[in-house]
Structure 1
Amino acid sequence: MSRGTGDENGSEELIVGKHPVLEALRSGREINKIWMTDGSQKSIAGPISAEAKKQGIVIQFVDKRKLDGMAPGMVHQGVVAQAAALAYASVEELLEIAKQRGETPFLLLLDEIEDPHNLGSILRTAECTGVHGVIIPKRRSASLTATVLKTSAGAAEHMAVARVTNLAQTIDGLKDAGLWIAGTDVAASDEVYDMKLDMPLAVVIGNENKGMGRLIKDKCDFLVKLPMRGRLNSLNASVAAGVLMYEVVRQRRPL
């Protein structure tokens, strides 16, 4: 799949950890070099070494302290790769993915999800549930960093992500393309399990603390909430997104 232009932050980035590096190799992403510790576990070194050898990619064995310095504060598992920056898709490409699969479009719109761990977790679940693409704003939002790739366990290599300047205008464009926009709001009158979600759909997940912005909420065709039976009234953004994605999957199952 072709993915638009790369991240504005640079043309190269580091990929950290076994699963992110292995999935980057398998996805065909351009890998320039791989560093591994001398004592890397066979379960980690074996699959990566085999894939790198097939692609003619150089592996350099180094002391663990070098990787600690390259990826400070991250669990690198003894492997770090240098790759071309992961490129973003266009919104049109996300819709084309659904068309090529012969499936009803299903997108996620993330309204200022700021925690890279939340973004990584959402991308992982999105890939598992067959979401055709994720849309994030350029401002006040986590982007495709090494932390996001690591948290997604490599899923970000297979999930198309579009980065847009204006989320509200993007919603208008999706409506013109025939999609319904479902917003998530703890104050919504309808629970997600009471709503029909098998139409062309884009689900909006709001900011971890503030939820959706007022303009984005007003743009939604309908709002849904998750039932809360305990003393708390909200879930972590990535957990809530996961529940919603799987409800869409449930409703779209062949009878």
Structure 2
Amino acid sequence: MRKLLNEELDRLTTEGFKESDKTPLVIVLDNVRSLNNIGSIFRSADAYRVEKIYLCGITAQPPHKDIRKTALGATETINWEYAEHTIDVVNKLHIQGYTTCAIEQAERSQNLYNFTPGKGQKVAIVLGNEVKGVQQEVVDSCKEVIELDQFGTKHSLNISVCAGIVIYDLFNKISLLRG
């Protein structure tokens, strides 16, 4: 089996990406401190044509060399916006018709495997600080809380790994519904 060359991957140009249909999925980063995690999330968002990323609180904003290092240009393709308060973004997304989902370990959370958006449903996922997670007031405001089951001794995943899993899963579920 021969690996494909970059020229054979049929990748979109930056302009082609901006004009392409997006997955009705928004990412909200709640006080994420690692610039490398932020860049990695931009890159995953680009891979699955996420609509937009909101960078909230202490979450750094492009341009920054450490974000650029892991984003590999995705900060130029993904639509993003900064907001000081995550709760304001979540409330705005409710008004815009998004189902907001905190990705967090919480009482009465549902497993990602069991969460399936409805046809035409727009989804926003909120990912939190590497140590403290999603702020409690934001969890309280979200319509859903989704958890990734884990079976080892650690009770958390790196935020960029978690984001990649959730984005991939929701992209596939939404794509199936869109036909």
For the criterion TM > 0.5, the same-fold answer is yes
- Map of 1:162-201 to 2, 5 A cutoff? 162-188=81-107, 189-198=109-118, 199-201=121-123
- Map of 1:33-182 to 2, 5 A cutoff? 105-137=24-56, 139-144=57-62, 145-182=64-101
Q: 1:231 to 1:251 in 2, by over 3 A?
A: same
**Aligned amino acid, residue 175 of structure 1:** H
Q: Does 1:238 align with 2:157?
A: no
Is there any run of 5+ residues in structure 1 with no aligned partner, and where? 1-25, 29-96
Q: Does 1:212 align with 2:134?
A: yes
Deviation at 1:104, TM superposition (A): 5.8
Deviation at 1:216, TM superposition (A): 0.8
Number of residue equivalences: 159
**Aligned residue number for residue 251 of structure 1:** 173
RMSD of the TM alignment (CA)?
A: 2.0
Q: 1:174 to 1:101 in 2, by over 3 A?
A: farther
| One of 119, 123, 144 as aligned partner of 1:222 | 144
CA deviation profile, 1:16-62 (whole Å, cap 9, x unmatched): xxxxxxxxxx748xxxxxxxxxxxxxxxxxxxxxxxxxxxxxxxxxx
Is there any run of 5+ residues in structure 2 with no aligned partner, and where? 1-12
CA deviation profile, 1:109-165 (whole Å, cap 9, x unmatched): 00001100000000000000110110012x322221121012111111111111012
Q: Comparing both chains, which one has the higher relative contact order based on Cα–Cα distances under 8 Å and sequence gaps of 6 or more? A: 2
Rounded Cα–Cα distance in structure 2 between residues aligned with 1:101 and 1:151: 23
**Aligned residue number for residue 3 of structure 2:** none
Kept in 1, the 8 Å contact 2:23–2:49? The answer is no
Which sits farther off after the overlay, 192-201 or 217-226? 192-201
Rounded Cα–Cα distance in structure 2 between residues aligned with 1:156 and 1:102: 18
CA deviation profile, 1:4-23 (whole Å, cap 9, x unmatched): xxxxxxxxxxxxxxxxxxxx
Counterpart secondary structure, 1:148: helix
Counterpart secondary structure, 1:105: strand
Counterpart secondary structure, 1:133: strand
**Aligned residue number for residue 71 of structure 1:** none
**Aligned amino acid, residue 60 of structure 2:** A
Q: 1:153 to 1:222 in 2, by over 3 A?
A: same
Larger Rg: 1
- Of all paired residues, the percent bearing the same amino acid is 26
Rounded Cα–Cα distance in structure 2 between residues aligned with 1:101 and 1:149: 22
**Aligned amino acid, residue 142 of structure 1:** A
Rounded Cα–Cα distance in structure 2 between residues aligned with 1:104 and 1:219: 23
